[in-house]
Homo-oligomer: A and B are copies of this chain.
Amino acid sequence: MTTATASRTGRRTSLSRERIVQRALGLIDENGLDALSMHKLGAALDVKGMSLYHHVANKRDLLDGVVEAVWEEIEAAAPVLPDWRAGLRSVANAVRNTVRRHPRAATLIFSQQLMPEPALRVVRTHVAALVAAGFAEQRAYDLLRTIWSYAFGSAFAEITWDTADPGCAVDVRQMLRPGTPEDLAAVAEVFCGQSDADAQFELGLDLMLRGLDDPTPD
């Protein structure tokens, strides 16, 4: 299952929480969350599994670290922009693109009950930008939360339905239980086989952003 290619590189540098977390994210991206064990992660780092416990408290702590690493990517991709609508758009796109880049790690973001620091920095930065644009603070939090929920919901729906092959369209049937009647399978094909996922994502985003008036100068 695990390739033996990793055994030559990265033996000189010793372990660190950072290196362990990044390797874990890499392994999850490659083989899926279920295939990640402390034993295998150790092996991928040229070390025995037990050694990891010198740098992470336990597996839960390790996975918290992975969630934080994903959030750091979101943060880096979600700059504040002069126009407040464009700023909210940048948050939404950062969330969606990052989740799509790590589809097999994405479920962790919701299953670990955690708000890591990079996530909180995204909130702080963009709330501040909305307030600077004239919104009341409470309203700014509400708007950000709404866009945030939509972006995560869309990204999750997409990765659930994407069967990893962007080209071939008809593999939606893989996610149906064998007995599924033909008429329902046809429904799934239209609903899940998104011809243009980007346009679909924009639809909801546009609806929400166009519905918002510019803040009244107070």
Residues of B within 8 A of A137 (CB): 190
Q: Does more than half of chain A's interface fall in helix, strand or loop, or is it mixed?
A: helix
Q: Is A17 an interface residue (CB 8 A)?
A: no
* Contact pick for A107, options B107, B152, B161, CB 8 Å: B107
A79 shortest CB reach to chain B, Å: 18
Stretch of A4-12, A22-30, A35-43, A205-213 that contacts chain B: A205-213
Residues of B within 8 A of A150 (CB): 149-150, 153, 204
Residues of B within 8 A of A200 (CB): 142, 145-146
Q: Is A115 an interface residue (CB 8 A)?
A: yes
A154 shortest CB reach to chain B, Å: 4
Residues of B within 8 A of A54 (CB): none
Name A193's closest neighbour in chain B (CB-CB): B141
Q: What 20 new A-B contacts, CB under 8 Å, besides A120-B188, A148-B157, A211-B211?
A: A64-B177, A68-B177, A110-B156, A113-B160, A113-B163, A113-B174, A115-B188, A120-B185, A121-B184, A123-B191, A124-B184, A127-B187, A141-B190, A142-B200, A146-B200, A149-B154, A149-B156, A153-B154, A153-B156, A207-B212
